Amino acid sequence: MRYITTIDATRPALRGIADHSWHTRGACHGMDSKLADKLFFPRPRDHKSIAQAKTLCGGCPVKKDCFNHALDNSTKEGIWGGLTEAERQAWQAKISERLDYARVRAAFIGRDVHLSTAERKAVTRHAHVRGWSPERLAYTLQLDLDYARDLMREAAHAVEDRDRYWDLYGSADDQPQHEDADESPQGTADETAGDEQPAGEKPTAPVSAPVPGHIHTHALIAALGKAA
């Protein structure tokens, strides 16, 4: 386990996987074991105990640490972070899609945190932009060196694609105006249905944002058609 340093001891930084020191700051710390089992591991229809546990968790200073601990360790039984097993299922089902930049930053400074697939991709792309070597990425994420090289290669392609298609995002003012309906671009009903604007409302400009993969826009499709 890596050591954790923090300036404010009352607000510790994101903890590593093996760090359980947050237990002592929990609202349930020191509770009688029988009472704790009744509240936090209740029977399916013991709604009174569940309500009492949720009330206690509501004011707990380490509620988020408790919740993350249950997700990171795939803990199914009991109430953790104020949520029951059934309430955590939706979070657990999408754990690989979680993108918490607090975890991304923690990985960069050497914390041993549980990263989702999306968070690992974010770390890899930032590492590529910062000029990290595959060896450094493998050490940081505790990966096989060959796998780290593959991740860096994928990150390089993703960044190149983002930069290559960035200028395809333009404002509405940059698009050519068609005065006659006959001069409008031709397309299927499915392609043009999403471009219609409600009566009386001005069309909004598309928002520029980095994208990880290929963008299928009308401009790109037309350019590919000319190249063919």
Shared domain for 47 and 107, answered yes or no, is no
Give mean pLDDT in consecutive 10-residue pieces for the chain, a chain of 228 residues: 39 54 90 92 91 94 90 88 92 85 85 85 90 91 91 89 66 48 43 46 46 51 57
Q: Which residues pair with 83 in a beta bridge?
A: 80
Q: Give the dihedral sign, CA 100/105/106/108.
A: positive
The pTM is what?
0.51
Shared domain for 66 and 115, answered yes or no, is no
25 vs 63: CA distance, rounded Å: 10
Shared domain for 84 and 133, answered yes or no, is no
Residue 86, phi then psi, degrees to nearest 5: -65, -35
* Alpha helix segments (H runs only) across 45-183: 47-58, 63-72, 85-93, 101-108, 117-129, 134-141, 145-164
Measured between alpha carbons, how far is residue 203 from residues 191, 196, 199 in Å?
Answer: 17, 9, 10
Q: How many domains does the chain have?
A: 2
Judging by beta carbons within 10 Å of its beta carbon (0-12, 13-18, 19+), is residue 137 exposed, middle or buried?
buried
Shared domain for 35 and 54, answered yes or no, is yes
pLDDT of residue 46: 92
Q: Does residue 173 sit within a domain?
A: no
Shared domain for 32 and 89, answered yes or no, is yes
Name the residue range of residue 47's domain: 21-93
Shortest CA distance to 155 belongs to which of 115, 130, 124? Answer: 124
Shortest CA distance to 174 belongs to which of 139, 203, 141? Answer: 203
